[in-house]
Structure 1
């Protein structure tokens, strides 16, 4: 009989809706207090669930009374412990070695470099390693933790002054360095399983690092028949050739497209992409990335992705926290807005903490990448103008306007 342990992160995931056949056999430990938990076999909101070992302890204790048939997670920070649990329980799925190869960015690039171009990189054991690496590179150097996500704690060293400033920070033992790659950043999002394949490509509106200098973030979908979209899908396949992959997995791949028309790996994760990526995918293709992954991982059927190109694609922009209380409009005056939502959990004076930090977001629709980019920028400019004109402390307290029309 199916019995599933779930280590959850997403704040709005509805497991009963995604897995109705086995709702009463789901044992869910969640980083967030989820809104729909009725009918679950077990649910517990665990503060800091992704970083404390409590969920793993409890799942192991539960398994002593009755074995689990599946252990699943969609959260990058839980991949390794979910793999560890599966191995100890004798359950099929992603192995610990595979999880590590997608989590540790040095191991990731060592593996991926067998089949695709990567930036030069090095694990940093000491500050001397960083000095030596910078001396070997002709341009800027990126320093980041090997297992962090969301562009957190990333530093770009562009010269001696940046190196000197970095030397005044406390040293961390989990750092790597890689050469800075000039180019446009794309992302490829996929769910691949036996008998199922969905792949979609998008361009980031701006570099994810721009969030720390006050630049809003977003994504612009490519049409699947676009030549570059086909190249990116082929690049994903070449990357995965180098890895030990599970029978069922989601992937979020980030790729540099250089001025010389070369594709270079940035990173790949074996999980669903974050921020607005699932919403964009659902809007264009009708594919629920989280639901598809979880259902296939639990051996449940899913509909095949659409075989024909979509009639329209979508793009998004997330407006950064402003560091001061602001009032946001209730809606946007554009007929092509697909969704507009205010972040109900953000403190009025919050500052950006990672690449998914947002005060609000808007999703737009259009015929192709060029049209949605123009509309995204128009929506962004309008929202920013409203923020400058109305800087008081009143603002909506929850999500507003889905399927927004003026």
Structure 2
């Protein structure tokens, strides 16, 4: 008898649509309130679910009445505890050791360096570990928490003044430092399971860390027939050769391409990439990364991975919060824009908090990476030139629409 425990984070996760054959076997504990849960075996909205042990306790107690066949999550921060539950209850799936190796960035690099290049790194216990590392490698260096995501709490130190300023912060016990790697960053997004393999490669528009400094970000898909896409896919396989991998899993790999043409691992996670990545993947390949991963994780069939190359690829640009009360522009007037969305929930005057922070975003299409990049940059320029300033917004409330110009 099928019985599936789900620890959910996503506010829009639709498990009834993703897993309709087993909806009545789902026991869902959710960080956000979900719609369409009436047919579940059990559903609870658990405030702060991501941080509290209540779901784990309830899943273990429910297993005493009838065993679970699967325990799943698509939230990176719940991978370790779902792995722990599976181990203790004798349920197949990703092990705690595997989950830790994909979550803890220092452990990750220690595992990955068996098969691929990684930046020099060290775990930090005290500030002297940081100063010793700087003395050996020089600036710049990157200091980050080992289990954080979305570029949160990451600091790049370019010189001694920034190091001194960093020491004014509260010290954390979960930090590591690594040598800064120059060059653009690519990401590879995959779902791999017995009889199924989907891999797509993209380049970040800019460094994810740039968001915190006010730079807009986004992704530019490579056409799968481009030579560099094949090189990135091969690199993914080399990375995975070093890890204990689940039978079915999604992967999000980030890799630097250095000026001397080397590929150097940044990070890899055993989950779906965030931000616009799932949306871009659906638009280009017709593959729903979350649905594909979760269905295979509970033994349900999925359509075959695309065999034909797509006619076009996509890119996105997200305009970051401006740190002042400014409104998002109207939809840009370009026929190659597939989607435009304004973040209506953003507080006026908000500042970027992490790599997903945005005022608005657009998705464009093009024949290949070069055309997508050109169109993304043209879209970005138009958006930045047409931000709605407070005076324009006030005029609009008086019945006078703000003037919008197209470069």
Q: With structure 1 as the length reference, what TM-score do the two structures score?
A: 0.95
Distance 1:240 1:188 in 2: 12
**Cα drift, residue 345 of structure 1:** 2.5
**Pairing 1:365-404 to 2, within 5 Å after superposition:** 365-387=365-387, 389=389
In the other structure, the counterpart of 1:327 is 327
Q: With structure 2 as the length reference, what TM-score do the two structures score?
A: 0.94
In the other structure, the counterpart of 2:232 is 232
In the other structure, the counterpart of 1:39 is 39
**Cα drift, residue 349 of structure 1:** 2.6
Distance 1:168 1:127 in 2: 11
**Which shifted more, 364-373 or 336-345?**
336-345
In the other structure, the counterpart of 1:3 is 3
1:77-106 Cα deviation digits (max 9, x unpaired): 000000001011100000000000011111
Distance 1:59 1:347 in 2: 37
In the other structure, the counterpart of 2:399 is none
**Cα drift, residue 390 of structure 1:** 5.5
In the other structure, the counterpart of 1:404 is none
Q: Say if 1:127 and 1:317 are closer, same or farther in 2 by CA, change over 3 A.
A: same
1:135-185 Cα deviation digits (max 9, x unpaired): 000331100000001000111111111111111111111000000000110
In the other structure, the counterpart of 2:178 is 178
**Cα drift, residue 226 of structure 1:** 0.9
In the other structure, the counterpart of 2:23 is 23
Q: Say if 1:93 and 1:393 are closer, same or farther in 2 by CA, change over 3 A.
A: farther
**Cα drift, residue 46 of structure 1:** 1.9
Distance 1:63 1:42 in 2: 13
Q: Is the 8 A contact 1:187 1:254 kept in 2?
A: yes
1:273-306 Cα deviation digits (max 9, x unpaired): 0000000000000000000000000100001111
**Pairing 1:2-401 to 2, within 5 Å after superposition:** 2-387=2-387, 389=389
Q: Is the 8 A contact 2:327 2:389 kept in 1?
A: no
Q: For 2:62, what is the secondary structure of its paired residue? A: helix
**Which shifted more, 163-172 or 44-53?**
44-53
Q: Is the 8 A contact 2:325 2:389 kept in 1?
A: no
Q: Is the 8 A contact 1:144 1:153 kept in 2?
A: yes
Distance 1:21 1:364 in 2: 35
Computed over aligned residues only, the root mean square deviation of the Cα atoms, in angstroms, reads 1.4
Instruction: Count how many residue pairs are aligned between Structure 1 and Structure 2.
Output: 395
Q: Is the 8 A contact 2:75 2:271 kept in 1?
A: yes
Q: Say if 1:36 and 1:346 are closer, same or farther in 2 by CA, change over 3 A.
A: farther
**Cα drift, residue 27 of structure 1:** 1.4
**Cα drift, residue 359 of structure 1:** 1.5
Q: For 1:188, what is the secondary structure of its paired residue? A: strand
**Which shifted more, 19-28 or 342-351?**
342-351
